[in-house]
Amino acid sequence: MKISTSLKTLLSITMVMSLSFSANAHRAWILPSTTNLSGDAPWVSFDAAVSNSLFVPEHVPLRLKGLMIQDPTGKNIDAENPHTGKFKTTFDLNLLTPGTYKIGYASGGIRATWKDENGKRKMWPARGKAAKDGEFETAVPKNADALLVAQSFRRLETFVTSGEPTENTFKPTNSGLELIPVTHPNDLFAGETAKFKFLFEGTPAANAKLTVVAGNMRYRNQQNQLDLVTDAQGFIDIAWPEAGMYLLEAEFEDDKAIAPATVRKGSYGATFEVLPQ
């Protein structure tokens, strides 16, 4: 199996993005200190981690490798003051250019899972490893029990805006599952409804499953999760019940994969700040 240059770039991003998006799984997230800023070249700080209690770093940090930051002109820029600790990674961003910035990770490629002769679950490539040209044919047994070969894509994002919101950072890349906002993600208010559109590989992601969960989970007994599904054109409406920081997670799957894969899967996660009225 040949892997394209663009796909190699995605496969080279080794991170904890292989974690599933589910109510019982650890969640990956990037949390900005604020999402709307003003003034001349303001600063914003970020935490990035994987945790069970949302926005509370208590498991492992997200690594800096693979982090991508796009400024309002579409230029890629570097994080400042980066540090990876025991439970979280932190970094700063100086918003020198007015407008909306996109901060996140993206990865994708062929993945295979199966059970060996002892019933033990196997995975290729291994967690945190990148696929290599020609390795699939020898690494994955063709007649293995419960063999599943998938084109798998994962994306994790957040957005911050200095001054007036802009749209340039939302141009689709047509790779994996992507959010294309109708309502700007830095213009969200409690009691209002936001509209987003999801694309998978550049086409509407119909029937993608979404969950929306507010932070501060450790201070309430119920998760209060919103479960939603996109319509036939990939659109979704989200009514924000209260102000706060939220994590949106989306999953999409179809059978339009390119051999040797039999399914395509996309996962998406994003942190949003919902402001009071």
Residue pLDDT tens, the chain, 277 long:
333 333 333 433 434 444 434 444 689 999 999 999 999 999 999 999 999 999 999 999 999 999 999 999 999 999 999 999 999 999 999 999 999 999 999 999 889 999 999 999 999 998 777 777 788 989 999 889 999 999 999 999 999 999 999 999 999 999 999 999 999 999 999 999 999 999 999 999 999 999 999 998 888 888 889 999 999 999 999 999 999 999 999 999 999 998 889 999 999 999 999 999 8
Flag whether the pTM goes above 0.95.
Answer: no
Domains of the chain: 5-108+150-274 (2.60.40.1930)
Q: Which DSSP string corresponds to 163-217?
A: SS---GGG----SSEEEEESS-TTS-BTT-EEEEEEEETTEE-TT-EEEEEES-G
124 contacts: CB under 8 Å, gap ≥ 6: 111, 112, 113, 131, 135, 136, 139, 140
Residue 28 to residue 7: CA distance in whole angstroms: 22
- Cβ-based neighbour number of residue 112 at 10 Å: 21
Residue 183 to residue 243: CA distance in whole angstroms: 16
Query: Which of 219, 224, 182 is CA-nearest to residue 204?
Result: 182
| Type of residue numbered 2 | K
Strand 145-162 versus strand 263-274 pairing type: parallel
Residues in the chain: 277
Query: Which of 41, 1, 272 is CA-nearest to residue 142?
Result: 1
